[in-house]
C-alpha cells in the first residue's frame, strides 16, 4: 500500500529482521522480529525479542511482547466476518463475505434508526482502540456519522477521574500529568502496580528498571496499596490502606502541608489560583482523622508530607486503585494538588506534560475554553455526559430502558470491547446484550460479549497492520516517535480496521454497504488538514490545500494523517519551511527503531487552557465532593470484607487468555485471603470459597497469603472464559471466574461517572 517504505528482499528460506512497536499495553516497547520467507506457507515469524536499538525501550519487553506470533497464528482468531446462523450447525456462526456482512448491518440498522431514532443505537469502545490506527483515527468519523449520544467506553472503568481533574485544573482533559520517574528523587505511588501492568497514563517502557534506578540513586519509592504487590516489594516503603480511602489520606497530606507551612508553589506561583480555598476545604481532614479511616498512622502521614516537601524533585502518582473508587476524582485531584503545592507541577522530576513530536509548543498567553461536564444527559438514567460519553456502569440500565421502553438502546456497536467481562455487574449487561435487536462487534474473537453479536467483523492481526502511537506519544515523559510498517502482508481478502470503521461510518450516514470507504478517509484527512491550514501557528497556515494533498499522495489512509501530523509538528519539515525536519518517510526509512527527542519541555503557563488562564486548584465541583467525602463512612467494615482486583504480568485485560504460553502453569484466578481472615472464616488453602456481593456470587480457589491486608480479599480481573458460546479454546480450558459478577453498577464516582471496581463489600464462605 505504501511503496516508499524500504522492505527487505524476500529470499526463499532466508530470514530477515523487521521492527515494530508492541501494541499490547501502554509501554509501547520496540520489537525486533525475525521473519523467514517461505513461498508456499507465506512469511513465518521465527522470533520476536526486544529491539535493543529502540532509544526508548532499549530492548525491554515483557512476556506478552513475543506472543504477537501466537496471537497471529491463533486458530480461534477470526479472519473473515461471521454472522449468527443457528441453522448452520456447529458453532452457530457462518462465514460471509465483507460485502454481505456490511449489507446485513445496513439492512438491520436502517429500520431501527428510522423507527426509534439515532439514540436507539449505542457504541461501546474498548481499550484496544487506543492501540491501533483504526480506533485512533477513524472512530471519530463513525461516531459523528452515527449521531447518537449513546457512547460508552472503557475510560469510565479506568482513568476518567484523571481526565476530569485535568480538564478542571488546567483545561485540557487529555493532558495528563506524567510522573517524571527518570528524574525524580521521591515517588509516592498509589493504586498502581507497574511491575505487572508496565505502567499506565505514563508511557515509560521498563518502569521497573527506572524505579530500580531511582532507589539505587538514593531516592524514595513509597507505595500505598492494600496488597503487597511486586511493586510494593521493590519499594523503599509500603503502606497498606483501606480500599477506597485514598482521597481522605491525600487530603490529610495537604492538610499537613498547610499546617506545617510547607507550601511552596515554585515557578508557577503566579499562575495558580485557589490555594486558600484548598486550605479551607481540607481543614477537617487531619492526619488523625485519616488514621481512623485509612489505617495509616498520623505520624507516618505527617512524615510523608514533610518528605514530599523536602525532596528536590518529588511526585505523587495514582492509578487504577486510586481512581476506580467512589471518590476517585477527588483522589486524582488531591494527588495533583500535592504536586502543585510542593512546586512539582510541570517541573523536572515532578509531573510533566507531553511535548509529542506531532504537537507544537504552546505559545502566546495562557487561557482557553476550559472544560465543561454534563453538556447533555443520557436518555434513560439521566446521567450527565463526561467527555462526550456516559458511564459504563449505566450501560445495562440504558439498554433496559425506562417506563414503556421507548428510550432504550436497541442496537449496539461493540468496538474492541468486551463489556460482559470488563464492566461492573456484568451479568446484568450479559442479559442486556442478549436482548438487543442488533449487535455488531468489531473483534477478533467470539468471546463473552461478541457471542451475542449478529455480525462480527474481525480486524487484521497486529502483525499485519501498520502502527503509530498517537495516543501514547502524548503520555511519554520524553518526546519520542516511532512508526511501524506491517510486519507481514495481510491475509488475502482481509480488511484493515480503518476501512472497517470507515465503511460503518458510510452505512450510518446512509451511503450504504457498497460505498467506497476511501470517501470517509478523505473526510478525516480533510478535517485534520483544514484545522492546520486555519491555525495561525501552523507552518502550513494559509498554504494551498492541493499542494499539501499532492505531497501526501505518496501515502494512503492512516499514513497520510501520520505524515501530515509529523510534518506540521514540533520537529517536522513544515512541508518545506524546515527542509531537514521530520517526515514519515524519514522516520520509517532512517529510524526504524524510533527517534528520541529528549525530555519533554515545560508546557505551563502557555499551555494552561482554563478560562482564567491559571491552574484552578479549587474547582467548585471538587470542593463540593469533598463536602460529601467528609460525611461518607469509608472506614473498613467490622464484619464482611472488601474485594480488590489484580492483574497478572501474563494477562492483558480480558482477551489474551487464549495464548497457551501465557496461561499455562499455576492457577492464577485465586481468591487471596489474609491468614487471620482465613482462620476466622474457616477457609483453607486450595479449598473453594464463595464470594458474594450485592449483585452476584462466584466460587474460586482460596490462596492464603499475607500479601493482602486483613479485611481485604483479592480476585484478579479478566477471567471467566467457560460460558456457553465462547469460542476461545485455550481460554476455556483455564477459565477462572469473572470478578465483574461481583462489582456493583449502582455505585459510581458521580463527578467522572467512573465505575467502582475496588473496595467492593463482600462476604466469603467456604463453598
Ligand X SMILES: Nc1nc2c(c(=O)[nH]1)N[C@H]1C(S)=C(S)[C@@H](COP(=O)(O)OP(=O)(O)OC[C@H]3O[C@@H](n4cnc5c(=O)[nH]c(N)nc54)[C@H](O)[C@@H]3O)O[C@H]1N2
Chain residues binding ligand SF4 by CB under 6 A are 22, 24-25, 27-29, 61-62, 64-65, 198
Q: Which does 132 bind (CB under 5 to 8 A by kind): Mo ion, ligand X, ligand SF4, none?
A: ligand X
Nearer to ligand X, 136 or 378 (CB): 136
Q: For residue 341, what are the CA distances in angstroms to 121, 269, 307?
A: 45, 9, 13
Q: Which does 65 bind (CB under 5 to 8 A by kind): ligand SF4, Mo ion, ligand X, none?
A: ligand SF4
Task: Give the dihedral sign, CA 710/648/232/159.
Answer: negative
Residue with cell 461518607: 632
* Residue 60 CB, nearest approach to ligand SF4 (Å): 7
Helix (H) or strand (E) holding 680: helix 675-681
- Could you tell me the three cell numbers for 148? 447518537
Q: Which does 197 bind (CB under 5 to 8 A by kind): ligand SF4, ligand X, Mo ion, none?
A: ligand X
Q: Which does 191 bind (CB under 5 to 8 A by kind): Mo ion, ligand X, ligand SF4, none?
A: ligand X
Nearer to ligand SF4, 22 or 334 (CB): 22
- Could you tell me the three cell numbers for 372? 465543561
- Name the residue whose CB lies closest to Mo ion: 158
- Pair 317, 187: CB distance under 8 Å: yes
- Could you tell me the three cell numbers for 598? 529528549
Nearer to Mo ion, 158 or 727 (CB): 158
Nearer to Mo ion, 321 or 366 (CB): 321
Query: DSSP of 624-648, one letter per residue?
Result: HHHHHHHH---SPPSSSEEEEEE--
Nearer to ligand SF4, 199 or 424 (CB): 199
* Residue 746 CB, nearest approach to ligand X (Å): 15
* Residue 160 CB, nearest approach to ligand X (Å): 11
Q: Which of 443, 506, 495 is nearest to 97 (CA)?
A: 495
Q: Which does 161 bind (CB under 5 to 8 A by kind): ligand SF4, ligand X, Mo ion, none?
A: none
* Residue 291 CB, nearest approach to ligand SF4 (Å): 37
Q: d(Cα 201, Cα 185) in Å, to the nearest integer?
A: 20
Q: Which does 190 bind (CB under 5 to 8 A by kind): ligand X, Mo ion, ligand SF4, none?
A: ligand X
Q: d(Cα 93, Cα 716) in Å, to the nearest integer?
A: 31
* Residue 61 CB, nearest approach to ligand SF4 (Å): 4
* Residue 422 CB, nearest approach to Mo ion (Å): 9
Q: Which does 226 bind (CB under 5 to 8 A by kind): Mo ion, ligand X, ligand SF4, none?
A: ligand X
Q: Which of 417, 559, 412, 588 is nearest to 498 (CA)?
A: 559
Q: Note every long-range contact of 273-279, with CB atoms under 8 Å and residues 24 or more positions apart, other chains counting.
A: 273/612, 273/614, 273/615, 273/616, 273/617, 273/618, 274/616, 274/617, 274/618, 274/619, 275/341, 275/617, 275/618, 277/617, 277/618, 277/623, 278/254, 278/337, 278/341, 278/617, 278/618
Q: N- to C-terminal Cα distance for the chain? A: 57
Nearer to Mo ion, 22 or 257 (CB): 22
Taking CB under 5 A as the criterion, which residues in 395-424 touch Mo ion? none
- Name the residue whose CB lies closest to ligand X: 321
* Residue 426 CB, nearest approach to ligand X (Å): 9
Binding site for ligand X (CB under 6 A): 25, 126-128, 132, 154, 157-158, 190-194, 196-198, 200, 224-227, 229, 241, 243-244, 246, 319-322, 325, 416-419, 422, 442-445, 447, 459, 497, 644-649, 651-655, 717-718, 739-740, 743, 757-759
* Residue 669 CB, nearest approach to ligand SF4 (Å): 20
Q: Which of 72, 114, 106 is nearest to 494 (CA)?
A: 72
Q: Which of 190, 221, 245 is nearest to 307 (CA)?
A: 221
* Residue 11 CB, nearest approach to ligand X (Å): 31
Residue with cell 477462572: 736
Q: Which does 192 bind (CB under 5 to 8 A by kind): Mo ion, ligand X, ligand SF4, none?
A: ligand X
Taking CB under 5 A as the criterion, which residues in 113-172 touch Mo ion? 158
Residues 6+ apart with CB under 8 A from 195: 207, 208, 229, 230, 231, 233, 234, 649
Q: Which does 608 bind (CB under 5 to 8 A by kind): ligand SF4, ligand X, Mo ion, none?
A: none
* Residue 232 CB, nearest approach to ligand X (Å): 8
Q: d(Cα 534, Cα 346) in Å, to the nearest integer?
A: 29
- b/e per residue 529-554 (b: at least 16 CB within 10 A): beebbeeeebbbeebeeeebeebbee
Q: Which does 644 bind (CB under 5 to 8 A by kind): Mo ion, ligand SF4, ligand X, none?
A: ligand X
Q: Which does 211 bind (CB under 5 to 8 A by kind): ligand SF4, Mo ion, ligand X, none?
A: none
Q: Which does 22 bind (CB under 5 to 8 A by kind): ligand X, Mo ion, ligand SF4, none?
A: ligand SF4
* Residue 507 CB, nearest approach to ligand X (Å): 17
Helix (H) or strand (E) holding 109: helix 98-116
Nearer to ligand X, 68 or 154 (CB): 154
- Pair 398, 390: CB distance under 8 Å: yes
Q: For residue 66, what are the CA distances in angstroms to 71, 86, 463, 749?
A: 10, 37, 11, 37
* Residue 750 CB, nearest approach to ligand X (Å): 17
Nearer to ligand X, 552 or 642 (CB): 642
Q: Which does 595 bind (CB under 5 to 8 A by kind): Mo ion, ligand X, ligand SF4, none?
A: none
DSSP assigned state of 690: E
* Residue 127 CB, nearest approach to Mo ion (Å): 5
Cα-based angle 641, 646, 649 (whole degrees, multiple of 5): 160
Nearer to ligand SF4, 29 or 508 (CB): 29
Q: d(Cα 122, Cα 147) in Å, to the nearest integer?
A: 10
Residues 6+ apart with CB under 8 A from 314: 184, 185, 186, 187, 188, 307, 308, 342, 344, 349, 350
* Residue 644 CB, nearest approach to ligand X (Å): 4
Q: For residue 675, what are the CA distances in angstroms to 198, 224, 705, 708, 712?
A: 29, 21, 6, 9, 11
Nearer to ligand X, 192 or 440 (CB): 192
Q: d(Cα 603, Cα 130) in Å, to the nearest integer?
A: 24
- Name the residue whose CB lies closest to ligand SF4: 65
- Could you tell me the three cell numbers for 410? 436497541
Q: Which does 28 bind (CB under 5 to 8 A by kind): ligand X, Mo ion, ligand SF4, none?
A: ligand SF4
Nearer to ligand SF4, 197 or 758 (CB): 197
Nearer to ligand SF4, 22 or 160 (CB): 22
* Residue 26 CB, nearest approach to ligand SF4 (Å): 7
Q: d(Cα 354, Cα 362) in Å, to the nearest integer?
A: 11
Nearer to ligand SF4, 154 or 441 (CB): 154
Q: d(Cα 754, Cα 748) in Å, to the nearest integer?
A: 6
Nearer to ligand SF4, 54 or 389 (CB): 54
Q: Which does 693 bind (CB under 5 to 8 A by kind): ligand X, ligand SF4, Mo ion, none?
A: none
Nearer to Mo ion, 157 or 463 (CB): 157
Residues 6+ apart with CB under 8 A from 610: 169, 170, 171, 367, 368, 370, 371, 616
* Residue 27 CB, nearest approach to ligand SF4 (Å): 4
Query: DSSP of 315-366, one letter per residue?
Result: EEEE-HHHHSSTTHHHHHHHHHHHHHHTT-BTSTTSEE----TTS----SSS
Task: By CB under 5 A, tell whether 437 contacts Mo ion.
Answer: no
* Residue 158 CB, nearest approach to Mo ion (Å): 4
Nearer to ligand X, 382 or 434 (CB): 434
Helix (H) or strand (E) holding 422: helix 419-422
Q: For residue 340, what are the CA distances in angstroms to 302, 463, 752?
A: 18, 42, 22
Nearer to ligand X, 329 or 740 (CB): 740
Q: Which does 304 bind (CB under 5 to 8 A by kind): ligand X, ligand SF4, Mo ion, none?
A: none
Residues that bind Mo ion (CB under 5 A): 158
Amino acid at each position: 500500500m505504501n511503496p516508499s517504505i524500504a522492505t527487505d528482499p524476500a529470499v526463499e528460506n532466508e530470514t530477515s529482521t523487521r521492527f515494530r512497536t508492541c501494541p499490547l499495553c501502554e509501554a509501547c516497547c520496540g520489537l525486533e522480529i525475525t521473519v523467514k520467507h517461505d513461498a508456499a506457507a507465506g512469511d513465518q515469524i521465527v522470533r520476536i525479542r526486544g529491539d535493543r536499538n529502540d532509544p526508548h525501550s532499549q530492548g525491554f519487553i515483557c512476556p506478552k511482547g513475543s506472543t504477537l506470533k501466537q496471537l497471529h497464528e491463533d486458530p480461534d482468531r477470526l479472519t473473515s466476518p461471521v454472522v449468527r446462523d443457528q441453522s448452520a450447525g456447529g458453532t452457530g456462526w457462518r462465514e460471509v463475505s465483507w460485502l454481505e456482512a456490511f449489507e446485513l448491518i445496513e439492512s438491520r440498522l436502517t429500520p431501527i434508526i428510522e423507527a426509534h431514532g439515532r439514540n436507539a443505537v449505542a457504541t461501546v469502545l474498548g481499550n484496544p482502540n487506543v492501540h491501533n490506527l483504526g480506533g485512533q483515527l477513524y472512530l471519530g468519523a463513525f461516531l459523528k456519522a452515527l449521531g447518537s449520544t449513546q457512547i460508552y467506553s472503557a475510560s469510565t472503568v479506568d482513568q476518567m477521574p484523571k481526565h476530569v481533574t485535568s480538564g478542571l485544573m488546567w483545561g485540557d482533559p487529555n493532558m495528563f500529568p506524567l510522573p517524571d520517574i527518570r528524574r525524580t528523587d521521591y515517588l509516592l505511588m498509589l493504586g498502581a502496580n507497574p511491575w505487572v501492568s508496565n505502567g499506565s497514563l505514563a508511557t515509560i517502557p521498563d518502569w521497573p528498571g527506572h524505579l530500580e534506578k531511582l532507589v539505587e540513586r538514593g531516592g524514595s519509592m513509597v507505595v500505598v496499596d492494600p496488597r503487597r504487590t511486586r511493586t510494593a516489594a521493590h519499594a523503599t516503603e509500603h503502606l497498606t490502606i483501606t480500599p477506597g480511602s485514598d482521597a481522605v489520606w491525600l487530603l490529610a497530606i495537604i492538610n499537613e502541608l498547610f499546617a506545617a507551612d510547607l507550601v511552596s508553589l515554585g515557578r508557577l506561583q503566579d499562575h495558580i489560583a485557589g490555594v486558600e480555598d484548598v486550605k479551607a476545604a481540607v481543614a477537617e481532614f487531619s492526619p488523625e482523622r485519616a488514621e481512623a479511616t485509612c489505617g495509616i498512622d498520623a505520624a507516618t502521614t505527617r512524615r510523608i508530607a514533610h518528605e514530599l516537601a523536602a525532596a528536590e524533585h518529588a511526585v505523587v502518582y495514582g492509578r487504577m486503585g486510586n481512581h476506580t473508587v467512589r471518590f476517585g476524582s477527588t483522589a486524582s485531584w488531591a494527588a495533583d494538588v500535592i504536586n502543585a503545592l510542593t512546586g512539582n507541577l510541570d517541573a523536572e522530576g515532578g509531573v510533566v506534560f507531553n511535548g509529542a513530536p506531532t504537537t507544537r509548543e504552546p505559545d502566546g498567553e495562557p487561557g482557553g475554553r476550559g472544560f465543561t461536564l454534563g453538556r447533555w444527559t443520557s436518555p434513560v438514567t439521566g446521567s450527565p455526559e463526561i467527555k462526550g460519553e456516559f458511564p459504563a456502569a449505566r450501560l445495562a440500565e440504558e439498554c433496559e430502558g425506562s417506563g414503556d421502553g421507548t428510550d432504550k438502546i436497541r442496537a449496539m456497536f461493540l468496538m474492541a470491547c468486551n463489556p460482559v467481562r470488563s464492566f461492573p455487574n456484568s451479568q446484568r449487561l450479559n442479559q442486556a446484550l442478549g436482548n438487543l435487536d442488533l449487535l455488531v462487534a468489531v473483534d477478533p474473537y467470539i468471546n463473552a460479549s461478541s457471542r451475542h453479536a449478529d455480525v462480527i467483523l474481525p480486524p487484521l492481526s497486529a502483525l499485519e497492520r501498520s502502527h503509530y502511537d498517537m495516543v501514547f506519544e502524548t503520555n511519554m515523559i520524553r518526546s519520542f516517535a516511532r512508526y511501524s510498517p506491517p510486519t507481514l502482508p495481510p491475509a488475502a481478502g482481509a480488511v484493515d480496521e480503518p476501512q472497517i470503521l470507515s465503511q460503518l461510518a458510510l452505512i450510518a450516514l446512509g451511503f450504504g454497504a457498497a460505498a467506497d470507504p476511501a470517501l470517509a478517509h478523505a473526510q478525516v484527512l480533510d478535517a485534520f488538514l483544514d484545522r492546520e491550514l486555519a491555525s495561525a501557528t501552523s507552518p502550513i497556515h494559509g498554504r494551498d490545500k492541493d499542494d499539501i494533498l499532492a505531497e501526501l499522495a505518496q501515502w494512503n489512509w492512516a499514513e497520510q494523517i501520520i505524515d501530515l501530523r509529523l510534518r506540521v509538528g514540533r520537529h517536522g519539515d513544515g512541508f518545506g519551511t524546515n527542509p531537514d525536519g521530520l517526515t514519515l518517510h524519514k522516520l520509517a526509512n532512517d529510524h526504524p527503531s524510533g527517534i528520541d527527542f529528549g525530555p519533554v519541555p515545560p508546557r505551563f503557563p502557555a499551555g494552561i487552557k482554563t478560562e482564567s488562564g491559571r491552574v484552578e486548584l479549587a474547582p467548585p465541583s471538587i470542593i463540593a465532593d469533598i463536602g460529601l467525602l467528609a460525611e461518607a463512612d469509608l472506614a473498613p467494615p467490622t464484619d464482611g470484607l472488601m474485594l480488590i482486583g489484580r492483574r497478572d504480568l501474563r494477562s492483558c485485560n480480558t482477551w489474551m487468555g487464549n495464548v497457551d504460553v501465557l496461561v499455562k502453569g499455576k492457577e492464577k484466578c485465586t481468591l487471596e485471603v489474609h491468614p487471620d481472615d482465613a482462620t476466622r472464616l474457616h477457609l483453607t488453602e486450595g479449598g473453594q470459597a464463595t464470594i458474594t456481593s450485592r449483585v452476584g456470587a462466584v466460587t474460586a480457589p482460596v490462596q492464603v497469603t499475607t500479601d493482602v491486608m486483613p479485611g481485604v480479599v483479592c480476585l484478579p480481573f479478566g477471567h471467566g472464559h467457560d460460558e456457553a458460546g465462547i469460542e476461545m479454546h485455550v481460554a476455556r480450558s483455564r477459565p477462572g471466574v469473572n470478578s465483574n459478577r461481583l462489582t456493583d453498577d449502582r455505585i459510581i464516582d458521580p463527578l467522572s461517572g467512573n465505575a467502582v471496581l475496588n473496595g467492593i463489600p463482600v462476604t466469603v464462605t467456604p463453598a
